[in-house]
Amino acid sequence: MRKSLLIVPVVVALALTSCAGSPQGGGPALETDDLLVTTPAAVGDLDLATWNLPLGEPASLDPIKAFNYPENTVVANLCEGLMQLQPDYSIKPGLAESVESPDASTYIYTIRQGVQFWDGTEMTADDVLFSLNRQLDPEEGSYWAGGLVGNIKSIEKTGDWEVTVSLTNPDATFNSYMVTPIGTVVQQAQREAAGEDYGTPTGLVMCTGPFSVGAWNQGQSISLVRNDNYWNEEKRAKTAQLDISFIVDAAAISNALSTGEIDGSYDLPLTALSTLDSATNGELYLGRSLQIVAIIGTGNGAFADPAVRQALMMATDREAIAATVFEGTAQASRSLIPNNGWAYGNKVFEEGRGTLRETAVDIEGAKEVLKDATADLSQPIKIVYPSERTYYADIISEIANGARAIGLTVEPTGVPSAQFGAFFSDPEAREGSDAFVTNNYMDVPDPLAFLRTIIGTDGSQNYNGYSEPDVDQLLLDAAAANDEDERAGIVNELQERAMKDLPWIPIVDPSVRLFMNERVTGVPASFVYLYYPWAADLGAAK
């Protein structure tokens, strides 16, 4: 008697909790053809707004340790670089008034005068020199070291308000990196005074941006307060205080946004999408992005055979993945370069992309390609993913479906998130598997900079030992090409080569997923929120 009485309330409870979640697969139909660059401009100021970082709390505010979503999303509003990335991907002068580049190995920056740090002291060329040199100092341990920074020969103060950077090899992409923390300027005195505490809640930072740090309640929230002495009057923050929370659980994020407790968020979890799309208190925006989801080969097993990779790509229904796993908010990837991931040579890149194979499934074609394979096709191919992120399992299952159709076996293998991180830095961690997933992004809207990391012999994201001397030469040629269209042309060649050799299989290009309460508006919808002071544009919607 008592047991059956129990069933009723439990069933009711189950029904209640399922209302908070969202249906699996087949979400709302969202258009991706017109991805946004900006959201409607704010019409007024706000005293207080709330935001969320779905990927967790920043580990540090030190720009040289800001190398991932949470840190960069916050630091972009606090500290500034010599150049500034704009929502339309163009690059404008920031703390540098202008830059001269007599050749691709020399960059002469004229430092802007009259810029104050939050404490009122003036920014000088010495601060700039100090900040840039931090990248080269092994004691500082900058996460941005290597690659581009490794190519810097010297950084010198060549005038009262002038700093010159000389590179070892010519690199036309260098200036665009000045929008990232590589080019960020911090106050030398405060860095030296704070010592080991720099970037922590006790040491903080001292920068020039439109916001400074208010309270930082570890584990709960961080407050950004408007800098009323910001040097750029036009870009003065419209919100006096922005409280940023660190909720990572998808259901909790969904609840907080749909009840209005939080005003907005980037990087919305996929499972929260259908709830938020039908929310009545705000709007879901999809923006132009520089992100890509791909499968990275480790150089082991059957996956090491390029014919196998090509066949798998052709047999996988990537358009279905974009429509179901990403609920229509992504596009199947035609290239390793995300669609529209460029800020120069637009026509050239569009044409080049048009010559690549289309993304539709082609089982017959895949079987043809597989005939050229030399590896042992009977071994199962293990693709590793972080087990907490179940959408990867869905993606790999779809790949496994395609694989089965052409006679291959693909096994999704989950490992705990904490261990998965090691795949990107420890070759030993990659030993027992054939491939692993990545949700990757271009640091700057320059296809050359991105491709270089994947197909260059010492590329920072080259995890499978891909090394072709002619590719390396093409990369150097592209980096030395001053003319943008010429550079774009060489990069197109590299792109074609990359899609032929396919060291990574590109799956989809996700869009930016942004939600804003109807009370606020103004932030960019495009993927610039890691380096552009997006919070300064946030203001009242009515």
Partner 1 sequence: MILEERTSVFFVIRRVIALIGVLIVSSFLVFAGMYAAPGSPENFLVQGRTVTPEVLAAIRRQYSLDDPFFVRYWNWLTSVLQGNFGQSLTNRQDVGDLLANRLPTTLALVAMAAILIIVIGIGLGILAGTRDGIVDKLVLLASNLGFAVPTFFAALILLSLFSVTLGWFPVFGSGEGFLDRLWHLTLPALALSLPSAAVVARITRTAIRDERDSEHSIMARARGVGRSLVLRRHVIRNSMLPVTTVVGVHIAGLIAGSFVVEYAFTLDGIGTLLVNAVQRKDFAVVQAIAIIMVAAFGIINLLVDLLYAAIDPRVRLGVKS
d(CA 326, CA 208): 38
Applying CB under 8 A, the span of 165-173, 243-251, 351-359, 467-475 interacting with partner 1 comes to: 243-251
Instruction: Pick between residue 236 and residue 389 the one whose CB is nearest to partner 1.
Output: 389
Question: Is 133 one of the binding residues for partner 1 (CB under 8 A)?
Answer: no
User: What's at 376, amino acid-wise?
Assistant: D
- Residue by residue, what is the 3-state secondary structure of 396-415? HHHHHHHHHHCCCCEEEEEE
177 binds partner 1 (CB under 8 A): no
198 token code pair: 């720099």
Place of tokens 């420890």: 426
**Shortest CB 197 distance to partner 1, Å:** 8
Show the binding pattern over residues 435-474: x = contacts partner 1 (CB under 8 A), - = does not.
---xx--------------------xx-------------
Is 226 buried (19+), middle (13-18) or exposed (0-12) by CB count in 10 A?
buried
Q: Are strands 520-521 and 381-386 parallel, antiparallel or unpaired?
A: unpaired
**What minimum distance in Å lies between the beta carbon of 149 and partner 1?**
9
Among 151, 255, 387, 390, binds partner 1 (CB under 8 A): 255
Among 91, 256, 313, 381, the residue binding partner 1 under the rule CB under 8 A is 256
Q: Which of residues 352-381 bind partner 1 (CB under 8 A)?
A: none
Q: Does 141 help bind partner 1 (rule: CB under 8 A)?
A: yes
Distance CA 316, CA 443 (A): 28
Among 121, 169, 278, 419, binds partner 1 (CB under 8 A): 419
Task: Check binding of 221 to partner 1 (CB under 8 A).
Answer: yes
Draw the binding track, 482-521, toward partner 1 (x: CB under 8 A; -: no contact): ----------------------------------------
> Cβ 58 to partner 1, closest distance in Å?
8
The CB-of-350 to partner 1 minimum distance in angstroms stands at 29
Q: Which helix (H) or strand (E) holds 365?
A: helix 363-370
Q: Are 464 and 298 in contact (CB under 8 A)?
A: yes
Type of residue at 429: A
Instruction: Write down the least CB distance from residue 251 to partner 1, Å.
Output: 8
As measured in angstroms, the least distance from the Cβ of 420 to partner 1 is 8
Number of chain residues interacting with partner 1 (CB under 8 A): 58
* CB-neighbour burial class of residue 161 (10 A; exposed 0-12, middle 13-18, buried 19+): middle
What H or E segment, with its residue span, contains residue 122?
none
Q: Which residue has the tokens 């610039």?
A: 528
2 binds partner 1 per the rule CB under 8 A: yes
Q: Binding to partner 1 by residue 421, rule CB under 8 A?
A: yes
- Tell me: does residue 161 bind partner 1 (CB under 8 A): no
Q: Residue 316 and residue 271: Cα distance in Å, rounded?
A: 23
CB of 113 to partner 1, least distance (A): 34
In sequence order, what DSSP letters do the residues of 470-535 get, joined into one string?
HHHHHHHHHHH--SHHHHHHHHHHHHHHHHHH-SEEEEEEEPEEEEEETTEE--B-STTTTTS-GG
Residues 260-299 close enough to bind partner 1 by CB under 8 A: 261
Token pair for residue 336? 């390793």
| Pairing verdict, β 264-265 and 46-52 | parallel
36 and 286 Cβ atoms separated by less than 8 Å: yes
Which residue in 84, 175, 258, 333 binds partner 1 (CB under 8 A)? Answer: 258
Binding residue for partner 1, selected from 201, 214, 299, 380, defined by CB under 8 A: 201
φ, ψ (nearest 5 deg) of residue 535 = -65, -20
Stretch that binds partner 1, among 229-237, 339-347, 373-381, 416-424 (CB under 8 A): 416-424
Residue the block writes with tokens 């429509």? 323
Q: Using the 8-state DSSP alphabet, how is residue 296 labeled?
A: E
Least distance in angstroms from the C-beta of 387 to partner 1: 12
Binding site for partner 1 (CB under 8 A): 2, 5-6, 9-10, 13, 16-17, 19-20, 59-60, 67-68, 138-139, 141-143, 145-146, 150, 196-197, 199-202, 217-221, 245, 247, 249, 251-252, 255-256, 258-259, 261, 416-422, 424-426, 429, 438-439, 460-461
